[in-house]
A and B are shown apart, each in its own frame.
Chain A
């Protein structure tokens, strides 16, 4: 009989990091299927290869560059890869996507010390990099419903609803916005499918619910006020459904590593994201502000955490 000496507690929850990552992948899958339906096989290919290559890259870095011999894959590389794929246009060539992925994981994550150490959401770091490096590819959108088997080169290009509105004052139909029948990044178009996936995460208790609620709530409030002041700014529903808001609020801002740990901090974070997103949308030169708002708020997380420390039990108010 070999008795081990171990520290209490001697019971542990069965849950682990891999299950969390797996749940995120599962939650994103409806939107992936939607992307394949609206944008064709290349969209699906980007998503699947993003996940697979992202995870392999992670394992490669850990095993061979950082020398962790018995590294067990945790799924976080796959999540980053898939999220990055959902943040690009189908016009992005595969080689450019790969560069973005390596940049996302290499500089967005491992340069900071790997899983859990990064300040910025790696997928958004990758996206920002791609936007700067390949602006044409990244902002050329295709008309959805092109058919699964059409090659990316065959499909027609179009502006996103936000750009259409900002530049031409054209409002896209809410129904199309809701189900995703509009131009845009792979994963940002269908509010419906993203919400479905998000409910899965909610049921599995995987989400920081306060971030999406405060983020979307702020956008709603901000855009309502703007609309009342001047309808030229677009109505609240349009702002909720268009652009990357749903993807950003439900899946990017809620990234555990790069968001605050306390409820109060999460609300501040969500409100901050919402205000910045609307400020960029309404007053910026750029039609879409979700990615940059989240990245900016990521940078503030250490500060938010510091100032929202919960009051210790029995601590007297000062």
Chain B
């Protein structure tokens, strides 16, 4: 089975939702659509308070090369545009607040039969649909699909690993929406001009793997099995497992001729190009030991987390942590009014766990053994606490993918990733100052 070196085996915690078919959540009463619903620069609002908007109507336009369109997720009225603390950016960002006034009145994208459309036309639809990577990084898909001409792309890799514990939405998509995934892949293959696409699926989802194999029969798309291991779905590790190619330090997948997309993104691409539907909703898993009725859901972007949790029967009053995403890389939030974003692959809700006090590092070297990037997390942590940022960078600080394997495995309960992230931020800021 294909895999990479390093990694950990956290408990999967997927049994709460893996048998549950995807449900569509009822429409929210009010949505909060961040103008930063993607990597890059925030988009520009093109509506003002008081405007009536339809579902799928553009409310934000890209501002810069790496940016994306934003659409109204409901039919209603724009109430205000206000700054809200963005859980991922870590600063306040403007959000368009829309009150729903009726059921959906759709505003579709102009599109056609993709087999007859040109690459540029397809890319344009994808761009106008506001599609970003739904795996979590929210990188605008049209940018990823238009690499500079000197980068020859020969393989499209689809990430169906879903190595994060708790999350099962990709698993369900591969079971329930395999045809859509295939169509999305074929569309992206055409755009990239590649002859081959590979979908990597972890071995804990054999049913999904067999289903994909069946659906892909007769198409130049292959499903391959990956070892169940965290972080098997990390881009560089996934590319290595499937192609044995190593993305160079500081490089991108396109440097080794690969583009990676998540299975959810494939569905979004199909819906945009074939059905003319902009990205106004996404699939996600709502699970964890503190949520009463865990589900796989389709949720409108901008829906407050509170509404989603209420739809899932509410949460235990002892709940300690609400996490956007999975438990390994997700961001914990304390304000349940924060909205679902385009990159929110799940909401994980946990009861309190036994506190584990931090001890000094005993150089057990477990972090070194598990690091999928071959770094020495204990050293990066030490250098970061001593503020020796330049030395940390020499030792690969900026290569850290922040997967958290080191922190997960550390017997001294040291939060390596926390210090590494901090050091990266400081280093970036000071480097900018120096120039």
Q: Given A12-B356, A12-B407, A309-B376, does the pair A7, B363 have CB atoms closer than 8 Å?
A: no
Cβ A7 vs Cβ B417 within 8 A: yes
- A195 vs B334: C-alpha distance when bound (angstroms): 52
| List of A residues within 8 angstroms of B362 by Cβ | 17, 20, 76, 115-116, 256-257
Contacting B at CB under 8 A, from A227-253, are: none
| List of B residues within 8 angstroms of A1 by Cβ | 315, 317-319
Cβ B11 vs Cβ A11 within 8 A: yes
Chain A minimum-CB-distance residue to B5:
A313
Q: 27 A-B contacts, Cβ less than 8 Å apart?
A: A3-B322, A4-B320, A4-B334, A6-B332, A8-B323, A8-B330, A9-B10, A9-B327, A9-B408, A10-B323, A11-B327, A12-B356, A12-B407, A15-B411, A17-B359, A20-B411, A76-B362, A256-B363, A256-B365, A261-B365, A309-B376, A310-B368, A310-B376, A312-B374, A313-B374, A314-B236, A314-B247
Chain B minimum-CB-distance residue to A259:
B363
Chain B minimum-CB-distance residue to A70:
B357
Check if B399 is an interface residue, CB within 8 A of chain A.
yes
- A313 vs B403: C-alpha distance when bound (angstroms): 14
Cβ A9 vs Cβ B328 within 8 A: yes
Chain B residues within 8 Å of A, Cβ to Cβ: 8, 10-11, 165, 236, 240, 246-249, 251, 315, 317-323, 327-334, 336, 348, 350, 353, 356-357, 359-365, 368, 372-376, 378, 395-396, 399, 402, 404, 407-413, 415, 417-418, 421
Contacting B at CB under 8 A, from A1-41, are: 1-13, 15-17, 19-20
Q: Given A1-B317, A10-B328, A10-B332, does the pair A19, B360 have CB atoms closer than 8 Å?
A: no
For the residues of A in contact with B, the DSSP-based class is: loop
Q: Given A10-B350, A312-B399, does the pair A3, B334 have CB atoms closer than 8 Å?
A: yes
Check if A145 is an interface residue, CB within 8 A of chain B.
no
Which of B11, B323, B332, B333 is packed against the most chain A CB atoms within 10 Å?
B332
Contacting B at CB under 8 A, from A81-101, are: none
- A159 vs B35: C-alpha distance when bound (angstroms): 82
| List of B residues within 8 angstroms of A8 by Cβ | 323, 327-332, 402, 404, 407, 417
- A303 vs B356: C-alpha distance when bound (angstroms): 33
- A25 vs B301: C-alpha distance when bound (angstroms): 55
Q: How many residues of A contact B (CB 8 A)?
A: 40
Cβ A16 vs Cβ B359 within 8 A: yes
Chain B minimum-CB-distance residue to A263:
B369
Check if A315 is an interface residue, CB within 8 A of chain B.
yes
Cβ B328 vs Cβ A256 within 8 A: no
| List of B residues within 8 angstroms of A312 by Cβ | 249, 373-375, 396, 399
- A247 vs B417: C-alpha distance when bound (angstroms): 37
Q: Given A115-B359, A314-B246, A315-B249, does the pair A262, B365 have CB atoms closer than 8 Å?
A: yes
| List of A residues within 8 angstroms of B396 by Cβ | 312
Cβ B411 vs Cβ A4 within 8 A: no
Check if A72 is an interface residue, CB within 8 A of chain B.
yes
Which of B165, B331, B365 is packed against the most chain A CB atoms within 10 Å?
B365
Cβ B330 vs Cβ A313 within 8 A: no
Closest 7 CB pairs of A and B: A9-B404, A116-B360, A261-B365, A10-B327, A7-B418, A3-B334, A9-B328
Chain B minimum-CB-distance residue to A74:
B359
- A11 vs B330: C-alpha distance when bound (angstroms): 11
Check if A316 is an interface residue, CB within 8 A of chain B.
yes
Check if A168 is an interface residue, CB within 8 A of chain B.
no
| List of B residues within 8 angstroms of A309 by Cβ | 376, 395
**Which among B165, B372, B412 is the interface contact of A11 at CB below 8 angstroms?**
B165
| List of B residues within 8 angstroms of A313 by Cβ | 236, 240, 246, 249, 372-374, 399
Check if A217 is an interface residue, CB within 8 A of chain B.
no
Check if A117 is an interface residue, CB within 8 A of chain B.
yes
Check if A114 is an interface residue, CB within 8 A of chain B.
yes
**Which among B348, B363, B408 is the interface contact of A261 at CB below 8 angstroms?**
B363
Check if A127 is an interface residue, CB within 8 A of chain B.
no
Chain B minimum-CB-distance residue to A265:
B365
